A = this chain, B = another copy of it.
Amino acid sequence: MERIKPHTLSGFMELLPAPQMQMERIMAVLRKNYASFGFTALDTPAIESSDVLLAKGGGDTEKQIYRFQKGDSDLSLRFDLTVPLAKYVALHYAELAFPFRRYQIGKVYRGERAQRGRFREFYQADIDIIGDGKLDILNEAEIPSIIYRTFRDLGLTRFQIRVNNRKLLTGFYAMQGLEEKSGDIMRTVDKLDKIGAEKVKKLLMDKEIALTEAQADEILRFIAITGSNTEVLTALQEYKGRNEIFDAGLEELNTVTKYLAAFGVPEENFAVDLTIARGLDYYTGTVYETTLLDHPEIGSVCSGGRYDNLAEYYTDKQLPGVGISIGLTRLFYVLGEQGLLNADLNTAPCDVLVLPMTENTGAVIATATAFREAGLRVQLYSEQKKFKQKMNYADKLSVPFVLILGDNEIADGTVGCKNMVTGEQITVSPADAIAHIKDALAEREKGAIILEK
């Protein structure tokens, strides 16, 4: 038979069992945290009609979209979870209760140029709160507080949620008479982290934006306002009273900062940061980025903000919202590359591997069943192999515990229970073995999922 060389497409993550288990663990933490704040799980199709998906126009990403014909239908794979959410909310508007809070963890597709660490199929993990006509600003503080708790649950402490407000920026530019150019300016300033102040200034004065040096300096002075949150907010007071939009933005930023503290987010984990604006045009108020303090090279691992009109391409209903998105596949990839995924957590497919050393299969099955019913993940090893080969199998899977069951143990009502990490082996009653195993596993599960070093 002619054989095809098996391969996985480049830009498509396909994990081995142990890292997949680490990914599952991270996803479980996200799901649990999102659900604990009253977000409902959604699952929309990966394929949408192209007219729906591209209603807004794809902009820069249009070329990246997987778009194809099937029969008479012009179809596209979703490139984010926001456009499908907008469609969902517009389509099912009458059946939803607002504020509508949903989370979605799903694969999206972008045909980017293939390069290390860039994925064409990747998970996004999004939460959004959508209001009907209005949405209280408290939500804009709650969203980052959810990210704070999620990151803490993942084991992280050295991260910072950076918060800014688009109105503040728009108002500031209006003070300089630069309303028309504020979009271009913000997109340029957004590059500050990547290219530095000098180059930003140069871009601002280039013929496309064409600011005077004085204007560019004024902007750089503004975004250079740093310090503690109180210091930054105090410095901003000086600009007050000159532009209504600015004043509204400052009021919002003050409120979000106050509520973030009420939500229990410590000062060291969030920072008012005037340099962030987010590239996307549709944010209208609070914006967020999240960085790992010891790994600034990763960039923002979680971004989002407030928008005034989620679904304007589908409905005349005004649907303001606030949301945030974790680029999960890329985050996972980078954490793996940096060696920050805790390899000490159990990544074996089972907690206990039962090795029969007897012909009494009924007794072996009964023991495996009893351990499983006690809540353990149990694999019964059924192959006819030598003992050494069986133990090699347990080693290769990194199974935490092996149960050895021979005729003696069955006759005595005991099991041989070997801890594969310590090498210690005990012969005890099944109930004692279960308790012993559970204690050891619980101890091991205390470790952080993501390490910081």
A residues engaging B (CB < 8 A)?
1, 3-9, 12-17, 20-21, 23-24, 35-49, 51-52, 55, 66, 68-71, 73, 75, 86-88, 90-92, 95-99, 101-102, 107, 109, 111, 121, 131, 134-136, 138-139, 142, 259, 262-264, 311-316, 349-350, 353, 361-362, 365-366, 369, 372, 376-380, 382-384, 393, 396-397
Contact = CB atoms under 8 A, between A and B. Distances in A.
A101 B379 contact: yes
A132 to B, nearest CB: 9
A388 to B, nearest CB: 14
Given A12-B47, A66-B75, A135-B383, 6 more contacts: A4-B55, A5-B314, A38-B353, A66-B68, A68-B68, A142-B380
B4 A47 contact: no
Assembly stoichiometry (copies)? 2
B142 A382 contact: yes
B49 A382 contact: no
Most central of A135, A311, A372 by chain B CB within 10 Å: A372
A153 to B, nearest CB: 12
Contacts of A393: 97-98
A418 B52 CA distance: 42
A41 B68 contact: no
A14 B88 contact: yes
Contacts of A48: 8-9
Given A23-B43, A38-B353, A96-B17, A73 B314 contact: no
Contacts of A312: 1, 3
A20 B95 CA distance: 14
B379 A37 contact: yes
A271 B17 CA distance: 35
